[in-house]
Amino acid sequence: MHGSPATVRGSLHPVAPALDNTQTPSLTLSTPTKDVAVCSNGGYYSLYWSIGIYDTQSLTSSVTNYPIEHGRRYHRYHEGAYPYPNDEQELDRLDLQHHMFLLVNDHRLYFSPLRNPKRILDIGTGSGIWPIEMANIFPDAEFIGTDLSPVQPTEVPENVHFLVDDATDDWLWDENYFDFIHISHMLGAMSSFKDLMRKAYNHLKPGGYLECHEMDLKPKCDDDTLPPENPDGYSEYALHDWVDLCIRSGQVIDPPKQFRIAPRLSRWMKEVGFVDVEERVSKVPVNTWPTDERMRQIGCWSQTNLLEGLGGWTYKPFLALGWSKAEIEVFLPSHPTTKTSFTDHVWISQDFLASVFRSFAYAQCRHGSQVPGPLEARRRLAKRRNTALARIGDFGPLDDVVCLFGRDGGEHRPQKPPDVKPSLLGSEGNPLSGFDIPPFSANCNGAGFEHKKSEASRDSMNSFNEDNPSHARLLEDYLREHWKVSDIKDVLHQLMIDLQREPEYSRMIFNSLLSRVGRTKAVIEEISTYLGDPFLNTQGAMNHLTAAEYLARKRTSLATRQALLGAINRALELGLIMNDEIRLIVQTLPKMKIAGQSFTERDPEGLVKCYREMWSAIGRCNVFSHKDLDMDLADAWLRELAATGSHMEGLLLARDIIVATHSRGSDASVWASSLITQWVKLSMDLNPKVDAGYVHELLSCFNSDIASRCIIRVAESLVLSPTVTEREKLRRKLFLEYWRNCLAQLPVIPSILRSRVWFDVWEAHFSEPSDGSGSIVAELSVVDRVLVRIWILRTFSTITRTRRDQTWEPGEVYYLTFNLFNVYRSITQLHDHGDFMSSLVKGIHDLDLPSNGVLTGAVNLLMNLCVSESAQESLWQLESRNISLTAMFENIHTFNATKRFMYRSYEKMIRKIDLTSPSFATHCLRIAETGDSESIWTIIRVLRSHSPLKVALSRSWNPIPHPSEMVLVRYHPLPRTSECPDPHAALEFINFLAIAFSCAKRVSPARAFDLVHWLFGYLMQHNAPIKPAFVRALYHAGVTRYQRTGQRVTPSRYNYILRLVKEHETPEVVESLLNPYRAKFQRKSDDDNDDD
């Protein structure tokens, strides 16, 4: 059987203009004579009497003079508007009910998609616990809680205010004022819930949200085992009758009240004008019948909530039907949800009671919270009878909780004459009979539940014996012989030692118990019982830390370790350990002795498992969640995990810690990048298949700046990985490829591309080392940092091309990449006046970055050129080092496809070739002899691209003096380089090349003439002189080789060649060419004359 709580939210249609969010919040009274009590966080109530005129004074008796009826307290303001009580018992129940609904709603306080709300209203705030907890989530928002009774705590966050007001009256604020309005548990309190929604509609800003949480108490059943209602009399199941009578009561009173409102909330919202109405219905068991653990736990809370509230919900409604008090009291025990008598204060079970109370009692003041909840207020805590019952069970007599009631826990008792000792001290069987017991004197200042800080408590451990030597000596002597928890409780009771106010004694007792470990097995059970007792193991004693230190100091058995660690985990699950103590425990556990070694050395994976159990225990705590951990604890925990080495379980736990605590400080981004770096390296070894879930969960909890910084730091850390051996270089490249593929799988985060972190290249970003030692690793240069960012962004640009269903535009990543390319070009031109593309290629190769289309992006974005597919393939191969720039130059097709944007790179490469060197000349001669066409064309491209050669040829006109001339100024060539070759050597190289081409047997005469003629044009183009040797090579290629092969030489070519010969050769040579037979005869005559 179950009830059904309904959660309905609706958004306000934007039909009215939005208000300026920057205006100062104000309270505007609609009626000059209306008085409203306002509770501020200053601890007093203010009374506003009229518009523009106000005065501060105590609450008027018209508000605080509560009427008492049938033993229950009710509200005075607009008396009768709310039929249920407002006393401490009801406030306790409201806190319990709030926690129950947190369990039902998976610990969510709201469901609306709020985005930075500024003003939030909680109608019917009750104990005020909802706005107080919401203030932690939205610290910049203003929270206003209204109620008919000023029963809320006075010490609240600065942004929380409580007002005594009736929601059915005219509201105090202008229309379009609130961003979010919350209404909960108002059944039986409103004449028209729809009118209340209409007011909320008018006072919400356009786009604001209204959220209602209500409980439908009409019992239902899934398997039809619930007895049906009896319309003619009383039903077999009394809860049917109770709900029916409450509905009838709401119909007969004046004005009528609506009792069953949950099923109609969504329809009313739509009728009022809300849009995007969503309804959530959850089942809540009435008691503990479910077998599911979660539903059973909710059933426990639900049963307690019903039994606690049934009396208050019944008296006034049933009296309105004409019932007498006697008839009501006879009817209530017939409720069948439990067999326990309703006349007693009923809870579910002893264990459940103890754990629930401990969770509530120590929830906030233990952790130094600045947001005290209702249970922490001393004024209310001293009155609540629930606290006394939390000790029912196996935790000793009821007197152990007397410290909750007044100074020294004794003001509630009947006073005895001061000269008469309590009878217990003189009774037989008293464990301290015979000792001279001094009167009890507390060491505290009587500040109620104001616990000492952990540091102060530990510092006082060494001096408490001097403050009260008699009590300490008596207790110490007694503990030498007695070590059972029951005996310890007895002696504390006899000595009247209040461990809540003197935690030093708790530490002393626990040390005594630890000293007995190993003597008997039963000691471990007593230690576990002691640690689980909140009135023995008190706050400030830090006994759990003592247990951890004992494990680090002594070699213990497995059973002892499991018992002490289990006790620590149970305390964490109940929220009994403070942040500082948890941090010290985390730092102590690695030193735990196992087989003569520390826990970290012996079993690092076991230590990580121990940490995971602690983390899970904190997660199961209902009052102290993971988000309550401070940043010092998280940082210490992460350092200890880093010291265990790279383990996947450790990385997963570290991720959970960062996700839960990242909002506490920006240093989490350093840890996140370190963890992702380790995860990349470990994942690649364990599972080469990329799964970016780990990275996405870490990055999604950060803002855009931190997420961008993490992505950049990971890439930089991988680039800076050590590469001493070839294997390490290969692994580094594989790591970068894995990270690139991981980024490609991440869901698109548009805000990352709008972060200014991408341009923070001038400040060094240091990476946290994996061992957590705090040392700073090497950093990248500014140019390298820019290049790494460009490499990352090229991955995101790939995402934009493959994911067309995303919500962001490709232009965002292109614009960012374009700006970074400009930064890179500016820096490289400032330090290196070389070519941009060459610098880019060199930077990619130096960092050994995997190919990612960086060169293609530079051409597209920076040069605004379209790249063909062949050129893209060539650039990709060049980026991945599969092809060199020299190979691209040698391939005619690649050269032609890329020369538009790579020509300066080619020219820079070619000018480093010393064309005048003998080795290059020999290489060219070998090419000419082979007749390889591609190689010959490569030589031609080298000549076309070699600018220093062209300059040198233009300077080769000055002749070298012959030694026979005996000139005064001799020619001494200076040392030359490829950047500045010797002009005469350059000219000689061209002549040598012409002779080699003209005489190459594997080059056809026509091809040889074309090559030599091209060289002739090359010399003329660059104003170089034509030497006779070059003309002879031209004649040999164009005339002689044609004649030898029997080919015809055209008259025009012959005349052209002969004209050049006449211009650059002597007349004798020209004559011999014109009349070769005469020349042959003349040479023969000359030879004969020489013989004579």
**Residue 397 belongs to some domain of the structure:** no
Residues 916-934, mean pLDDT to the nearest whole number: 89
Size of the chain, expressed as the number of residues it contains: 1092
- Name the 3-class secondary structure at 540: coil
Q: What percent of the chain has pLDDT over 70?
A: 74
Other CB atoms within 10 Å distance of the CB of residue 976: 17
Distance (Å, whole) CA 205 – CA 16: 8
Residues 388-415, mean pLDDT to the nearest whole number: 36
Residue with tokens 């074309």: 1010
Which comes out higher in pLDDT, residue 796 or 713? Answer: 713
**Residue 20 belongs to some domain of the structure:** yes
pLDDT (0 to 100) of residue 964: 66
- Is the domain of 107 the same as that of 190? yes
pLDDT (0 to 100) of residue 956: 83
Ramachandran assignment for 848, one of left (phi > 0), alpha (psi -120 to 50 degrees), beta (any other)? left
- Is the domain of 34 the same as that of 22? yes
- Is the domain of 772 the same as that of 821? no
CA distances 1042 to 159, 436, 1050, 1051, Å, are 103, 138, 10, 13
What average pLDDT is seen over the chain? 74
- Please, which pLDDT band fits residue 804 given cuts at 50, 70 and 90? very low
Which comes out higher in pLDDT, residue 957 or 208? Answer: 208
DSSP 243-292: HHHHHHHHHHSSS------GGGHHHHHHHHT-EEEEEEE--EESSS--SS
Q: pLDDT, tens digit, for every residue of 116-147? A: 899 999 999 988 999 999 998 898 999 999 99
Distance (Å, whole) CA 618 – CA 625: 6
- Please, which pLDDT band fits residue 340 given cuts at 50, 70 and 90? very low
Per residue, the 3-state secondary structure of 774-833, as one string, reads CCCCCCCCHHHHHHHHHHHHHHHHHHHHHCCCCCCCHHHHHHHHHHHHHHHHHHHHHHCC
115: CB partners within 8 A, 6+ apart: none
**144-153, 342-351, 723-732: which is most confident:** 144-153
- Is the domain of 149 the same as that of 278? yes
1076: CB partners within 8 A, 6+ apart: none
pLDDT (0 to 100) of residue 328: 80
Residue 145 one-letter amino acid: G
Q: pLDDT, tens digit, for every residue of 243-256? A: 888 888 888 887 88
- Is the domain of 760 the same as that of 798? no
- Is the domain of 757 the same as that of 831? no
Measured in whole angstroms, how far is the alpha carbon of residue 739 from the centre of its chain?
A: 18
630: CB partners within 8 A, 6+ apart: 579, 661, 664
**Residue 922 belongs to some domain of the structure:** no
- Is the domain of 1029 the same as that of 903? no
Largest Cα–Cα distance of the chain, in whole Å? 168
- Phi and psi at residue 58, to the nearest 5°: -70, 160
84: CB partners within 8 A, 6+ apart: 74, 90, 188, 189, 309, 312, 313, 316
Distance (Å, whole) CA 683 – CA 739: 10
Q: pLDDT, tens digit, for every residue of 500-510? A: 778 888 888 88
Q: Which residues pair with 204 in a beta bridge?
A: 178
**Residue 373 belongs to some domain of the structure:** no
Q: pLDDT, tens digit, for every residue of 275-326? A: 888 888 888 888 888 888 888 889 888 888 888 888 888 888 888 888 887 7
Burial grade of 710 (CB within 10 A; 0-12, 13-18, 19 or more):
buried
- Name the 3-class secondary structure at 217: strand
- Is the domain of 955 the same as that of 1007? yes
Ramachandran assignment for 814, one of left (phi > 0), alpha (psi -120 to 50 degrees), beta (any other)? alpha
- Is the domain of 774 the same as that of 793? no
Other CB atoms within 10 Å distance of the CB of residue 205: 22
pLDDT (0 to 100) of residue 231: 76
Question: The dihedral of CA 890, 896, 897, 898: what is its sign?
Answer: positive
- Please, which pLDDT band fits residue 410 given cuts at 50, 70 and 90? very low
Domain count within the chain: 6
- Is the domain of 509 the same as that of 595? no
pLDDT (0 to 100) of residue 436: 42
Which of 6, 10, 8 lies closest to 214 in space, CA to CA? Answer: 6
pLDDT (0 to 100) of residue 82: 83
Distance (Å, whole) CA 279 – CA 887: 68
Distance (Å, whole) CA 380 – CA 299: 27
Whole-model pTM? Answer: 0.53
- The answer on pLDDT for 768 being more than 50 is no
977: CB partners within 8 A, 6+ apart: 914
Q: How far apart are the first and last CA of the chain?
A: 144
Q: Which residues pair with 614 in a beta bridge?
A: none
Give counts: helices (H), strands (E), the chain: 47, 15
Distance (Å, whole) CA 217 – CA 306: 10
- The answer on pLDDT for 875 being more than 60 is yes
**214-218, 221-225, 349-353, 1008-1012: which is most confident:** 1008-1012
**Residue 35 belongs to some domain of the structure:** yes
987: CB partners within 8 A, 6+ apart: 952, 953, 956, 1019, 1024, 1025, 1027
Which pair of tokens denotes residue 303?
């049963």
Residues 181-207, mean pLDDT to the nearest whole number: 89
pLDDT (0 to 100) of residue 144: 94
> Running DSSP on this structure, what letter comes out for residue 618?
H
- Is the domain of 624 the same as that of 683? no
Query: Which helix (H) or strand (E) element contains residue 569?
Result: helix 558-574
Other CB atoms within 10 Å distance of the CB of residue 799: 18
> Running DSSP on this structure, what letter comes out for residue 858?
I
Which of 174, 130, 170 lies closest to 152 in space, CA to CA? Answer: 130
Q: Which of 510, 541, 572 is the last residue of a domain?
A: 541
- Phi and psi at residue 440, to the nearest 5°: -70, 135
Distance (Å, whole) CA 707 – CA 696: 10
Measured in whole angstroms, how far is the alpha carbon of residue 784 from the centre of its chain?
A: 27
pLDDT (0 to 100) of residue 221: 83
- The answer on pLDDT for 561 being more than 60 is yes
> Running DSSP on this structure, what letter comes out for residue 19?
P
Distance (Å, whole) CA 414 – CA 423: 14
pLDDT (0 to 100) of residue 339: 37
pLDDT (0 to 100) of residue 1085: 52
- Please, which pLDDT band fits residue 160 given cuts at 50, 70 and 90? very high
- The answer on pLDDT for 201 being more than 90 is yes
pLDDT (0 to 100) of residue 1017: 92
Angle between helices 193-203 and 265-272 (to 10 degrees): 50
Query: Which helix (H) or strand (E) element contains residue 509?
Result: helix 503-514
pLDDT (0 to 100) of residue 10: 57
pLDDT (0 to 100) of residue 786: 87
**Residue 241 belongs to some domain of the structure:** no
- Is the domain of 869 the same as that of 826? yes
Distance (Å, whole) CA 24 – CA 1062: 101
Distance (Å, whole) CA 8 – CA 485: 51
Residues 456-467, mean pLDDT to the nearest whole number: 43
**Residue 434 belongs to some domain of the structure:** no
- The answer on pLDDT for 470 being more than 80 is no
- The answer on pLDDT for 540 being more than 50 is yes
CA distances 1077 to 1037, 1081, 1085, Å, are 21, 6, 12
Q: pLDDT, tens digit, for every residue of 220-246? A: 887 777 788 877 777 777 788 888 888
Which pair of tokens denotes residue 515?
């000293």
Which pair of tokens denotes residue 32?
């000059």
Q: pLDDT, tens digit, for every residue of 987-1001? A: 999 999 999 999 998
Strand ranges inside 936-1001, DSSP E = none
Q: How many CA atoms lie within 13 A of 822 on its CB side?
A: 9
- Please, which pLDDT band fits residue 810 given cuts at 50, 70 and 90? low
**Residue 206 belongs to some domain of the structure:** yes
Q: pLDDT, tens digit, for every residue of 1013-1060? A: 999 999 999 989 998 899 999 999 999 999 888 888 888 988 898 898
Evaluate whether 122 touches 89 at the Cβ level (below 8 Å).
no
Q: For residue 895, what are the domain limits?
A: 784-910
> Running DSSP on this structure, what letter comes out for residue 747?
P
Residues 549-571, mean pLDDT to the nearest whole number: 84
- Phi and psi at residue 161, to the nearest 5°: -135, 145
Angle between helices 782-802 and 704-719 (to 10 degrees): 110
Evaluate whether 210 touches 269 at the Cβ level (below 8 Å).
yes
Residue with tokens 């030359």: 976
Q: Which of 643, 678, 698 is the last residue of a domain?
A: 643
Which comes out higher in pLDDT, residue 696 or 453? Answer: 696
Evaluate whether 242 touches 314 at the Cβ level (below 8 Å).
yes
pLDDT (0 to 100) of residue 777: 43
Which of 484, 499, 301, 311 lies closest to 404 in space, CA to CA? Answer: 499
pLDDT (0 to 100) of residue 1087: 54
Which comes out higher in pLDDT, residue 827 or 437? Answer: 827
Distance (Å, whole) CA 209 – CA 200: 9
- Name the 3-class secondary structure at 209: strand
Which comes out higher in pLDDT, residue 866 or 788? Answer: 788
Distance (Å, whole) CA 363 – CA 576: 8
Q: pLDDT, tens digit, for every residue of 39-93? A: 333 333 333 222 232 333 345 556 777 888 877 888 888 887 888 898 888 888 8
DSSP 284-314: EESSS--SSHHHHHHHHHHHHHHHHHHHHHH
Residues 938-967, mean pLDDT to the nearest whole number: 80
Q: Which of 482, 509, 541 is the last residue of a domain?
A: 541
371: CB partners within 8 A, 6+ apart: 132, 133, 135, 136, 156, 157, 364
Which of 997, 1001, 1022 lies closest to 1009 in space, CA to CA? Answer: 997
Burial grade of 403 (CB within 10 A; 0-12, 13-18, 19 or more):
buried
Distance (Å, whole) CA 862 – CA 876: 17
Which of 146, 96, 102 lies closest to 120 in space, CA to CA? Answer: 146
